[in-house]
Amino acid sequence: MSSNLYAEENTQKLTQLKALAPEQLKAFNDFNVAVFKDGALSKKEKEIIAVAITHVTQCPYCINAHTKHAKKAGATLEELAEAVFVTAAIEAGGTVTHSTHVHNALAQDASDVLYARSNLKNLGHLGKFAPDGFKGYQAFSAAATEAGKLTAKFKEIIAVAVANATQCPYCIDVHTKKAEKLGVTREELAEAIMVTSAVCAGGSYAHMANMIQSYQD
């Protein structure tokens, strides 16, 4: 393996999985084929979502592979950049919304339900104690999800997918409701979530290249 832990050539090690775990490899490959075929979402849309999710998993192999797949499916670099900014906004939002637990920890009347929807009313503590930063976050979130090269509707589909990847209950709740208001169907959301599942699995799959080399060193 290259001294560069994330050299593209490292993925050649994955060919050894045919001998190491053939049944699991076949099931993984079949899973990916099923997820990325055209459905309620097109292959192009699914690959754009995949690129967004790879920036959650932060897997360089996956970013490389799905960016190339997205380009082949017709996605532009502008579309991919907007999709990844949605990822950045949702990750920022997860941090912001989880700060409600800081408020609750300091409050004597804190809720016993860690993920109660009512917790979101406590976001005002950020506006009070970090007003400039909170306004900056709100402006960034709005800019990242407004229509551009990608529609606002499709960006909310991406947002729901990213929220499931980051496992933020608040983000899932908020963006699922926004997506519904924009006319997103359950089929579209389900397919986006399955892309998220496949890409998250793909991060573990791709990093087995490093595991194999480490074992064989």
Domain of 165?
Answer: 41-212
Within a domain: residue 1? Answer: no
The answer, yes or no, to whether residue 169 has pLDDT greater than 80, is yes
pLDDT higher than 80, residue 157: yes
Residue 76 lies in a domain: yes
> pLDDT averaged over the chain?
92
> Does any domain span residue 27?
no
Q: Is residue 14 part of a domain?
A: no
Tokens for 39, please give them.
């459905």
Q: What burial class does residue 120 get, using C-beta atoms within 10 Å of its C-beta: 0-12 exposed, 13-18 middle, 19+ buried?
A: middle
In a domain, 26, yes or no: no
**pLDDT attached to residue 51:** 98
Q: How confident is the model over 48-107, as pLDDT tens digits?
A: 999 999 999 999 999 999 999 999 999 999 999 999 999 999 999 998 888 777 777 777
> How many whole angstroms separate alpha carbon 55 and alpha carbon 36?
18
- Answering whether pTM is above 0.85, one says yes
In a domain, 78, yes or no: yes
**Residue 52 Cα distances to 41, 132, 143, angstroms:** 15, 28, 16
Q: Can you give the CATH number for the domain in which 118 is found?
A: 1.20.1290.10
Write down the pLDDT at residue 103: 73
So what's the pLDDT on residue 3?
A: 65
Determine the pLDDT at residue 50.
98
pLDDT of 28 reads 98
Digit-coded pLDDT (tens) for 7-16 = 888 999 999 9
Q: How many domains does the chain have?
A: 1
Domain contains 2:
no
Residue 170 lies in a domain: yes
